[in-house]
Amino acid sequence: MDFYGDVRTRFRVHSGLNGALGMASRANLRRKVDGNISRLIDIVFSSTAFLILLPVIALICIAIVVQDGGSPFFVHRRIGRGGRLFPCLKLRTMVLDSEARLRRHLEENPEAQAEWALDQKLRNDPRITPLGVFLRKSSLDELPQLLNVVWGHMSLVGPRPIVPAEVPRYGRYMEFYCNMRPGITGLWQVSGRNDISYRRRVAMDTIYSRTRWFGGDIWIMVRTVPAVFASKGSF
């Protein structure tokens, strides 16, 4: 190759590298801007919604206490962004002796035991109180998670927060889950919730992590309203 041909080749390679680096830089900048906008919306929307819904939360808390005298709140350790554990807040929907009642139920019902082994859920869960059934169907039990959003543990949109025992189910895709804050709503929540297999749930979280953008979050939030009213897959 002559001198000029070598220069032209190097120029094309250099230009290609610069173009690729430029595209990557713009993509990173776009993700950063989208992330900052999403976080701002998270704080403004969740803090405003919590203040507006505070009377509703207070009434539900009173109803739970009247029901059995126990605490109206349930705090569970869940995995958040970066794999860090955080206290996930919920309104209590279970009886006070829930663990003992679950053990007895599984010991006495082989079919329930098989269902529980599949995805750690039961369609007819003996631990859920009558009020708890309504709270879960309406998703009102998740209202305290608005505080988790304000504190930075969660986002309005993201994967469903998981417990440490669920990590093996994600396998090598766990890194995609850890790249995001868990959300009050998300692809899984608006696509059928518990009617969706766990494998498909992991796939949805992975796809969301790879393709997340601000417009997509808005689409999910809009779809959340009819999904809540339909109560599909909520138990």
**111 falls within a domain:** yes
In eight-state DSSP terms, residue 70 is S
Helices (H) and strands (E) in the chain, counts: 9, 4
Q: Mind listing the pLDDT tens digit for each residue in 76-122?
A: 999 999 999 999 999 999 999 988 888 898 888 888 888 887 777 78
Residue 15 CA to residue 84 CA, distance in Å, equals: 41
The pTM score is: 0.81
Among 143, 160, 156, residue whose Cα is nearest residue 200: 160
Task: From residue 115, give the alpha-carbon distance in Å to each of 5, 70, 103, 106, 125.
Answer: 68, 29, 14, 10, 11
- pLDDT tens-digit map of 111-150: 888 888 777 778 888 899 999 999 998 999 999 999 999 9
Helix (H) or strand (E) segment spanning residue 12: helix 3-68
Q: Report how many domains make up the chain.
A: 1
List, in order, residues 6 or more apart from 107 with CB less than 8 Å away.
Answer: 113
In-domain check, residue 64: no
Within a domain: 119: yes
Residue 70 within a domain: no
**Each residue of 54-66: pLDDT tens digit?**
999 999 999 999 9
Tens-digit pLDDT profile for residues 11-29 = 354 455 455 445 445 555 5
Does residue 21 fall inside a structural domain?
no
**Residue range of the domain that includes 112:** 96-127
Please check whether residue 204 lies inside any domain of the structure.
Answer: no
Cα 228 to chain center, whole Å? Answer: 15
Q: Let me know if residue 213 belongs to a domain.
A: no
